[in-house]
Structure 1
């Protein structure tokens, strides 16, 4: 049985599109029951319409509190039948109302190697600091922002003097690979969390092929199809 998920996004939705594409190709065992967000004009809803996926745009500015907004979002997600919530560029801090409703079943992607450079400017902060490696992280969501147990990370080299756009253009393609991979592991029931450690059960699936020229590292390794 596929894993029922809801995707929450606030922007263009490229990570949502990566999951839509993987699911359509039969590589990701999920049923995307809902794509929702807090910005009615966001491009992610065009992607949802194009894929025939139910979608919901709630303008957070029309709610009296963060908790009231989250309660409405929780109700919609529950009604959709989604079991897991996948945050894909969702630019809202989740209240306890949301976190308690889906405890242990919310995941996020962050454009840096956590715990370094948390927050909305992770990529820019890593570049400004002058690190030699950065990348992206898929993690479970907890009350403290960008603090939950890590599922998978990808690292890329940082070239001195390069622009943020150039750096992110190398990170984004890896986001589009590691995020669906993490969701697939959840769909397969292979993820277990103990004391912040995320354990991945073994599989017979071969690893994804790497080119000798690839300048990135992903751990745990990507599997075939990702």
Structure 2
């Protein structure tokens, strides 16, 4: 059984999908804790499933490295097999990535390497493309530059704005994340064998 710690910053819709999947006795992964860099609304989902939560507010620390050290300590006390950044909107310091790699994955609302960074949906619309996508990647020390584990194309529809397009991308992100965790748990994806970027 794969033990997961999920890190969020907002509403936690991807987290909710993982919690629902893991509630099925046949699903080979369990969320053991949910953490955030603020008091996130998504903690409600963890509470609903009886999952412990922790918060490491960035503003409580002198710098990113001190914050990262505390975040890593909080994560490691749960001894997870896999850490999932699920709408976690803060870059983690290199030593956190190095301590957890390659068992640190992230979802991104674009078909990487297209439109990396915090505004993937907005950037796709601004570029005028007719399709974008969703990706699940291994986290490295770049910005959305790690090896891609899974991705799927999503059309940009006439009249789409950032909200409507992001809503459709989130549906696919959730499906990809649940499947990717399943594939890691059952050995279809071997993170130790993934090429490092």
The residue number in structure 2 matching 1:209 is: none
Distance 1:194 1:78 in 2: 23
Specify which of 40, 61, 65 is matched with residue 63 of structure 2.
65
Count residues with an aligned counterpart: 195
Structure 1 stretches of 4+ with a deviation exceeding 4 A read none
Deviation (angstroms), 1:165: 1.6
TM-score by length of 2: 0.94
The residue number in structure 1 matching 2:195 is: 195
Q: Deviations over 1:43-76 (max 9, x none)?
A: 1111111110011012110111111111111111
Gaps of 5+ in 2: none
Specify which of 123, 143, 146 is matched with residue 145 of structure 1.
143
Deviation (angstroms), 1:164: 1.6
Distance 2:177 2:165 in 1: 18
Distance 1:146 1:82 in 2: 22
Asked whether 1:32 is paired with 2:31, we answer: yes
> Is 2:147–2:194's contact at 8 Å kept on the other side of the alignment?
no
Deviation (angstroms), 1:25: 2.3
> Taking CA–CA contacts closer than 8 Å with sequence separation of 6 or more, which of the two structures ends up with the larger relative contact order?
2
The residue number in structure 1 matching 2:14 is: 15
Distance 2:176 2:14 in 1: 10
Distance 2:45 2:159 in 1: 35
Q: Deviations over 1:128-185 (max 9, x none)?
A: 1011111100000000010000011111111233212221222111111111100111
Deviation (angstroms), 1:97: 2.0
